[in-house]
Amino acid sequence: MTVPNEAALQAADSAVAAPVVGDVDAVSSLDPGVRRRAVVAMSVGNMLEYYDFAGYAVLATIIGKLFFAATDPVAQLSSAFSVFAVAFVFRPVGAVLFGWLADKVGRRSTLLIVVTIMGVATIVIGLLPTYAGIGVTAPILLVVARAAQGLSLGGEFSTSAAFLVEFAPRHRRGFYGSFTYGSAILGSAVGVALVFGLSSSLGSGAMLSYGWRIPFLLSFPLLLVGFYLRYRLSETPHFQQLRRARAPVPAGENLWTHRKSMFQVVGVMVAMATGSYILLSFMTSYLLTVLRYSPTTVYWSVIATAVFGAIVTVAFGRISDSVGRRPILVTACVLVLLFSYPAFLLLSSGPLGAWLGQFVLWFIMGMFSGAIPAAFSELFPTRYRAAGFGIAYAVATAALSGVAPLAATALIRATGSSASPGWYLTAAGLISLPVALWVRESVGKSLD
């Protein structure tokens, strides 16, 4: 890939310097290298964010043993996932803070801050003493680090989605936006692959002793790479235009004016947030601890199906530019209703079923994640895009994603059925379907 020089970046700034009425697809005049650079920087930064975030979930079984006093493995896992859920409580706080910052100061500066917070918090987790060393202080410090991760992710997703959509040509916003989720899924897959490699080479004893720290400590070089790539970026054309125009906000307009759009984000995210975090945060521990598959089966299936999910995500992002966002969102909701429980029956049926069940779930979630970044970014004007999308998205994930592993674990314990989380996903799809039907189509329309 060709990396543009400073002259190219100045040309990019100049291309959006002239006053523009509405959205005239200002980025169409940019050097293609500048747009590719934006996609690469956002993708690498997102991979870092979700590699860090997923690292905790993948190692939840070990973290439960090291940081909590309970002796029952399921109770330890529940305690570890309770701390996992803490991060989601702080996501709306991060969305408010960093969403406001992104809309007032700029996307680029905000993205530099959030990737730094995530990297530092993850390194801290890798350095923490365990319960055996400092007692109850260990889980308390773990909660603090997880809270910092939650703040970071609260500002990351909507800001990076807005960044990519605002850099995209008008009829490719779905494709560009899909890299937000696609890279995040790949980051999670990298985290799982690293843990698998370490577990295979070090053994369970070494992993419990010190090996679990390695994925967290590797965030340091990744942080440097992510920060550098984002530092080299220019601001998005749409935000530069907004900043230069200094146009007054219409009388009576504020974020609350866009509450309908925010409600639509929350409604569709019920199914998406539940399903995606069942896959990203719960699946590995579920297959290992509940279904007791071999680590080889678990890790290879989780890695392969996650990569498949990333590919499906980008594919449906591109498809959404042709057929529309709403048809894809509605279809995904219908598939959640029809196939969630059968997918969990497959997961419980044996090693081959573990692969097939994940492929089914990732295909459905890939439909959601391909269409959502552009669909929801297009619901808000530039001056409220990061905050409006981010707050609604964070509220949904705080209410649903963080508790998804806990709810799934509770259902299994209450019913005795390993397939019972499928009904949880089915209920989520039932809630999201009417909201998806309500979302307005936005393909080809201008960004305000």
Sorted by sequence, the CB contacts under 8 Å of residue 445 that are 6+ apart come out as 378
What pLDDT does residue 127 have?
92
CA atoms in the 13 A half-sphere facing the CB of 327 = 9
The Cα 320–Cα 327 span in angstroms is 8
pLDDT at 288 over 90: no
- Helix pair angle (385-400, 351-377), 10° resolution: 150
Residues 366 and 312: beta-carbon distance below 8 Å = yes
Give the best-scoring range by mean pLDDT among 61-65, 68-72, 164-168, 239-243.
Answer: 164-168
Q: Which amino acid belongs to residue 127? A: L
Dihedral sign from CA coordinates of 255, 269, 323, 426: negative
What pLDDT does residue 188 have?
86
DSSP, collapsed to helix, strand or coil, labels residue 22 as: coil
Q: Kindly list the domain boundaries of the chain, sorted by start residue.
A: 35-233+258-438
pLDDT tens for 365-397 read 999 999 999 999 999 988 889 899 989 988 888
Residues 213 and 195: beta-carbon distance below 8 Å = no
What pLDDT does residue 220 have?
83
What pLDDT does residue 429 have?
94
Question: H or E element: which one contains 245?
Answer: helix 237-245
The Cα 39–Cα 180 span in angstroms is 9
pLDDT at 78 over 80: no
Residues 375 and 253: beta-carbon distance below 8 Å = no
- In percent, the amount of the chain with pLDDT more than 70 equals 87
Residue 163: which of 390, 366, 421 has the closest Cα?
390
Question: H or E element: which one contains 36?
Answer: helix 32-58
More confident residue, 304 or 52: 304
- In percent, the amount of the chain with pLDDT more than 90 equals 36
Look up the pTM and report it: 0.84
- The gap from C-alpha 135 to its chain's centroid, in whole angstroms, comes to 32
Question: H or E element: which one contains 433?
Answer: helix 421-438
The Cα 19–Cα 17 span in angstroms is 7
Domain 35-233+258-438: CATH superfamily is MFS general substrate transporter like domains (1.20.1250.20)
Mean of pLDDT values over 92-108? 90
Angstrom CA distances, 17 to 5, 233, 245, stand at 19, 17, 10
For the record, the structure tokens of 346 come out as: 């497959």
More confident residue, 111 or 86: 111
What pLDDT does residue 3 have?
43
What pLDDT does residue 395 have?
86
Mean of pLDDT values over 71-77? 65
pLDDT at 349 over 50: yes
pLDDT bin (cut points 50, 70, 90) of residue 252 is low
The Cα 314–Cα 179 span in angstroms is 6
Residues 379 and 267: beta-carbon distance below 8 Å = no
The Cα 166–Cα 383 span in angstroms is 12
What pLDDT does residue 53 have?
64
pLDDT at 438 over 50: yes
What pLDDT does residue 442 have?
82
pLDDT bin (cut points 50, 70, 90) of residue 50 is confident
What pLDDT does residue 250 have?
63
* Whole-number average pLDDT of the chain: 84
pLDDT at 339 over 60: yes
pLDDT tens for 308-326 read 999 999 999 999 999 999 9
For the record, the structure tokens of 232 come out as: 């080299």
The Cα 194–Cα 189 span in angstroms is 9
The Cα 339–Cα 349 span in angstroms is 15
Sorted by sequence, the CB contacts under 8 Å of residue 46 that are 6+ apart come out as 156, 160, 179, 180, 183, 184, 187
Residues 45 and 230: beta-carbon distance below 8 Å = yes
The Cα 439–Cα 327 span in angstroms is 10
pLDDT bin (cut points 50, 70, 90) of residue 28 is low
The Cα 21–Cα 241 span in angstroms is 10
Residue 269: which of 371, 338, 159, 378 has the closest Cα?
371
pLDDT bin (cut points 50, 70, 90) of residue 235 is confident
CA atoms in the 13 A half-sphere facing the CB of 386 = 33
Q: Where are the alpha helices (DSSP H) in 105-172?
A: 107-127, 131-134, 137-167
What pLDDT does residue 396 have?
86
